[in-house]
Amino acid sequence: MAEKAATAPETRPLVPHLTLGETRDQDYLNGSRCKSCNTLYVGPRLFCGKCSTPGQFENVRLASEGEVHVFTIIHQATPYVQAPYIAAIVDLKGGGSVNTNIVGIDPLPENVRFGMKVKMFTEKVSEDREGNSYVAYRFKPA
């Protein structure tokens, strides 16, 4: 009986709009820019929500810096995320917005503010049974 060939564990992005580089400081978010109206989206798109043009997108590398648009303090833990934590929407420099967690500060309302400058980083958040690592993006104060 043939044995199943072992494969080396891989490092994988947790979400499809995260591109992993050779090192964690080379990771980046990718987006799509509509060629008709120049609207920028996070991740791939099939049609533009602004001008309704189908399939006319160019892939772009998104900025790793941005500002907190809105936030809330979450008090219910989820897998891999200890409560309380700061959940936010960050407006990226140059366009695009992402849902993310703000880390590196105590999750208290007085420690975060609308318009606060933040910077993206990535980290390993889990590992599967085969030893593959999964990397997610987060933001911290700039």
C-alpha angle with apex 122: 49 to 103, nearest 5 degrees? 90
Please tell me the distance from the alpha carbon of residue 67 to that of residue 7, in angstroms, as a whole number. 41
Q: What are phi and psi of 95, to 5 degrees?
A: 125, 155
> pTM value?
0.87
Region of 95 please: left (phi>0), alpha (psi -120 to 50) or beta: left
pLDDT at 7: 81
Q: What pLDDT sits at residue 5?
A: 64
pLDDT of the residue at 4: 63
Which class for 106: exposed (0-12), middle (13-18), buried (19 or more C-beta within 10 A)? exposed
The segments of the chain whose pLDDT lies below 70 read 1-6
N- to C-terminal Cα separation, the chain? 57
Residue boundaries of the structural domains of the chain: 14-141
User: Closest Cα to residue 96, out of 55, 142, 57?
Assistant: 57
Structure-block tokens of residue 115: 């318009």
Alpha-carbon dihedral of residues 100, 104, 107, 113, nearest 10 degrees? -70
